[in-house]
Amino acid sequence: MNRRSFLQTGAKLAGSALFMGLGSSSLLGSSRGIRNASPVEKITLNNGVQMPILGFGTLYLTDDLGVRSVAEAISLGYRLIDTATIYGNEEAVGGGIKQSGIDRSELFVTSKVWVEDTGYENTKRAFQTSLDKLQTDYLDLYLIHRPRGDVNGSWRAMEELYKDGKIKAIGVSNFTAAQINDLIKNFSVKPTVNQIETHAFFQQPGELEFLNRHNIQHEAWSPLAQGRNGYFTNETLAVIGGKYGKSNAQVALRWHYQRGIVAIPRTQQAAHMKENLNIFDFELSEEEMNRIATLDLNKTQFPEWE
């Protein structure tokens, strides 16, 4: 589905028969057997590349735990895997992908260039290291992790890698609207994605509006706020979830989905992997979306990362 039509259709019809029908037809279209079936539909980025709207985060999932978790997530239906050089787990993620036995073309793999690796030459080198560790010859999405260091040099390198077909889509993370406007002004390839902290306690409505206006996909990191501030016991989310037989995590992930935001929850537990995928059979009403909007504290839950 095209991004704009997702946002228009999704906002009005999320959860309706038509909307759910689109979800399940993409399931039938893309699966090659039950083990690898994915219930997750895809949105289309501003360069035509398709991206699953729900994925799997891998922060802290290193070594054997990383291999096992990634393989398990893929077997349960996750297709978007989010890693980064700074997580120190690209080898583990690559191992998990290999262990899953899935065809590379079925996956959407994201990595990110870290601050110390910014600049033209460094980024080219860091990118190749990421490919080697992940045991792949291309990335679906490569992001500048933070708006620090030689961002312009990195973007120049990423534009070249994109034009050479080594990266399907390039984007940014933790960028403000002004920093994105600078890239748009100075370069020919526009970012496809901005991955930023987004959850019920930090909802980022201004960023969402800006990104939608520029047809750049909003992707939520820490979509469950890592459980901080009582996310998993929050009463507002629990009351809404009670009506549908859903957990706080499921309500939160459904809320991201209905806002048209890509979310990448992380878990090392198979039960939670399944739970987090099981959000496509209910719909939050407008009133419930508005009630969740009142939870916004409009501030980061991760001041230590600022």
Ligand X SMILES: NC(=O)c1ccc[n+]([C@@H]2O[C@H](COP(=O)([O-])OP(=O)(O)OC[C@H]3O[C@@H](n4cnc5c(N)ncnc54)[C@H](OP(=O)(O)O)[C@@H]3O)[C@@H](O)[C@H]2O)c1
Q: List residues binding ligand X (CB under 6 A).
A: 57-59, 82, 145, 173-174, 195, 221-227, 232, 247, 249, 264-269, 272, 275-276
List, edge to edge, every strand of the sheet that includes 262-263: 56-57, 80-82, 108-113, 139-144, 167-173, 193-197, 217-221, 262-263
Residue identified by tokens 């209910």 is 282
What minimum distance in Å lies between the beta carbon of 250 and ligand X? 7
CA distance 295 to 284: 15
| DSSP labels, 192-250 | SEEEEE-BTTB--HHHHHHHHHTT-EEEEESTTGGGGGGGGG-HHHHHHHHHHT--HHH
Q: How far is the CB of 280 from ligand X (least distance, A)?
A: 15
Tell the smallest beta-carbon distance from residue 16 to ligand X (Å).
Answer: 25
Cβ proximity to ligand X, 1 vs 172, nearer residue: 172
Give me the least distance between CB of 131 and ligand X, in Å please. 18
Closest to ligand X by CB, 1 or 96: 96
Instruction: Say if CB 276 and CB 249 are below 8 A apart.
Output: yes
Any catalytic annotation for residue 87? Answer: yes
Residue 45 or 225 having the CB closest to ligand X: 225
Annotated active-site residue in 87, 142, 162, 231: 87
Q: Decide if 1 contacts 217 (C-beta within 8 A).
A: no
R_g over Cα of the chain: 18
Which is it for strands 56-57 and 50-52: parallel, antiparallel or unpaired? unpaired
Taking the CB of residue 35, how many other CB atoms lie within 10 A of it? 13
Measured CA angle at 92 (ends 232, 96), to 5 deg: 80
Task: Give min distance, CB of 29 to ligand X, in A.
Answer: 27
> Could you list the active site residues?
87
